[in-house]
Amino acid sequence: MSRQIRVESLPVTAAFRRIKRWTERRGEVALIEDGLLIQHLAVFSLRAGPGLFRGGHYHRVKTERFYVISGKVRILTVDVETGEAGHTDVQAGHKLVIPPLLAHRFHALEDAWLVEYYDSPYDPQDDVPFQPFPEIQLSRP
């Protein structure tokens, strides 16, 4: 696929790093970004189940970023210029980047919480509805 989701698994370490996660007795810390200007920040949940999803659109300009706090999610994608379709599975601790012109729709394989962020204010004119997405299998392979 010419446009793809970039997925990065945050390293689990107590050592000094600008991007990482670590767990200790009192809880977990995730350092998701360092240096990125963020003008939009949201947290959302997504329940697993038939017909439940978020998204179903693409952006002409905006690059969206997400961090998976918990759960497992399958993201369906379609490159709007080439029609190439695919999917990406992510889980807790993954950070992902969705470039412009990549239609996307999120389906939970397990109930999930995600952080959504990007470097510009929300612009409803940059949300372009997209159909159809390919049929998906909701169980993990």
SS3 69: strand
pLDDT of residue 134: 80
For tokens 């190439």, the residue is: 84
Residue by residue, DSSP assigns 107-141 as: EEEEEEEEEEEESS---GGGEEE--PPPP---S--
C-alpha 122/C-alpha 141 separation (Å) is 35
pLDDT of residue 140: 53
pLDDT of residue 139: 63
pLDDT of residue 12: 93
C-alpha 61/C-alpha 67 separation (Å) is 20
pLDDT of residue 80: 96
Q: Which residues of the chain have pLDDT under 70?
A: 1, 136-141
Beta bridge partners of 117: 41, 65
Domain 36-129 CATH superfamily:
Jelly Rolls (2.60.120.10)
